[in-house]
């Protein structure tokens, strides 16, 4: 009972110091006082709930793999090709393969807690020949009033044995608020897993690269991408997979001959 009275005393002192209406209510009798106390309790509960639900889920931020890091230029991760390097044409394109990505759209659910979930039930399949993909291209012929993200699958063509860095770049012009989901994996190794919230200004976001010691061959590569605003898809934004080549050259977007399906 003493603990109850001490808590009530604390609430009384807090309201007396911070709320002028509470002090006035003391002079008008129990009913207004009870109403003021109830309003204060409701206000505190709403504030606590908002503080909790406005925080992005822990998975929404980039997290490096827990088993080991993503390598470094001095200590790259070893990687074996998924397929041997095919014969190449004079322009560098791979014989027996088509350029670009195999795309699969999956439903996306976003509850109030921002625990964005990709539903593992495909709703559409298509292909894109370009290595850089825009939201406008992903929405071409697909509904804008249903949330979804796209999983892109392909093979990265490596022609020379060396250490390479690889990472996704999200670019978006200024426009209406939107959230964008970005994931990238190479050889089934997750490198990037992020949710960028409330983008409105022009942005270019580069994630930390994964570093690999590649031998000539084809390496599996996958990314997930989608931008939305509320319950509608956004047609602004694009994703590029960036490659850091040997020799200290700056990172460049993958070219058409670098990705095959």
- Is the same domain home to 100 and 180? yes
3 state DSSP class of 28: coil
pLDDT in tens, the chain (261 residues): 555 455 455 555 555 455 554 444 444 455 544 554 554 454 444 444 343 334 444 433 334 444 457 999 999 999 999 999 999 999 889 999 999 999 999 999 887 766 678 888 999 999 999 999 999 999 998 888 899 999 999 999 999 999 999 999 999 999 999 999 999 999 999 999 889 999 999 999 999 999 999 999 999 999 999 999 999 999 999 999 999 998 888 999 999 999 999
- Is the same domain home to 162 and 189? yes
| pLDDT of the residue at 46 | 42
Helix intervals (H) in the chain: 2-18, 20-25, 30-53, 135-139
> What is the CATH number for 213?
2.60.120
- Is the same domain home to 75 and 29? no
> How many Å separate Cα 240 from the centre of its chain?
14
- Is the same domain home to 42 and 76? no
| Token pair in block for residue 60 | 């929404």
- Is the same domain home to 138 and 200? yes
Rounded Cα distance, 43 and 11, in Å = 13
- Is the same domain home to 45 and 148? no
| pLDDT of the residue at 116 | 75
What is the number of alpha carbons within 13 Å of residue 175 lying toward its C-beta? 13
| pLDDT of the residue at 191 | 94
* Contact (Cβ atoms closer than 8 angstroms) between residue 183 and residue 221: no
Closest CA to 210 of 80, 70, 78, 116: 70
- Is the same domain home to 8 and 103? no
Under DSSP, the state recorded for 58 is G
* Contact (Cβ atoms closer than 8 angstroms) between residue 218 and residue 155: yes
Q: Count how many domains the chain has.
A: 2
- Is the same domain home to 110 and 90? yes
Rounded Cα distance, 100 and 77, in Å = 25
| pLDDT of the residue at 56 | 41
What is the number of alpha carbons within 13 Å of residue 112 lying toward its C-beta? 6
Rounded Cα distance, 12 and 21, in Å = 12
- Is the same domain home to 34 and 9? yes
Strand partners for 260: 99, 155
Q: What are the phi and psi torsion angles at 58 (to 5°)?
A: -55, -35
- Is the same domain home to 27 and 66? no
- Is the same domain home to 49 and 94? no
* Domain ranges, residue 154: 58-260
> How many Å separate Cα 215 from the centre of its chain?
30
- Is the same domain home to 162 and 131? yes
Total-model pTM: 0.72
């Amino acid at each position: 009972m003493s603990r109850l009275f001490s808590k009530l005393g604390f609430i009384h002192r807090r309201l007396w110091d911070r709320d002028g209406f509470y002090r006035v209510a003391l002079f008008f009798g129990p009913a207004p006082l009870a109403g003021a106390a109830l309003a204060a309790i409701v206000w505190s509960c709403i504030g606590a709930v908002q503080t909790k639900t406005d925080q992005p889920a822990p998975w929404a931020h980039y997290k490096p793999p827990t088993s080991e890091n993503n390598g470094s230029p001095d200590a790259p991760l070893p990687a074996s090709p998924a397929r041997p390097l095919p014969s190449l044409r004079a322009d560098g394109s791979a014989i027996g393969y088509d350029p670009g990505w195999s795309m699969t759209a999956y439903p996306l659910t976003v509850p109030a807690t921002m625990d964005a979930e990709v539903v593992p039930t495909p709703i559409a399949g298509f292909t894109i020949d370009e290595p850089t993909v825009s939201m406008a291209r992903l929405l071409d012929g697909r509904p804008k009033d249903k949330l979804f993200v796209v999983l892109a699958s392909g093979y990265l063509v490596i022609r020379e044995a060396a250490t390479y860095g690889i990472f996704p770049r999200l670019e978006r012009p200024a426009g209406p608020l939107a959230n964008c989901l970005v994931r990238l994996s190479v050889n089934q190794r997750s490198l990037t897993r992020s949710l960028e919230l409330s983008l409105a200004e022009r942005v270019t976001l580069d994630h930390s690269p994964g570093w690999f010691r590649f031998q000539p061959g084809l390496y599996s590569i996958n990314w997930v991408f989608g931008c939305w605003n509320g319950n509608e898809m956004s047609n602004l934004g694009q994703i590029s997979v960036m490659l850091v080549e040997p020799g200290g050259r700056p990172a460049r977007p993958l070219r058409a001959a670098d990705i095959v399906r």
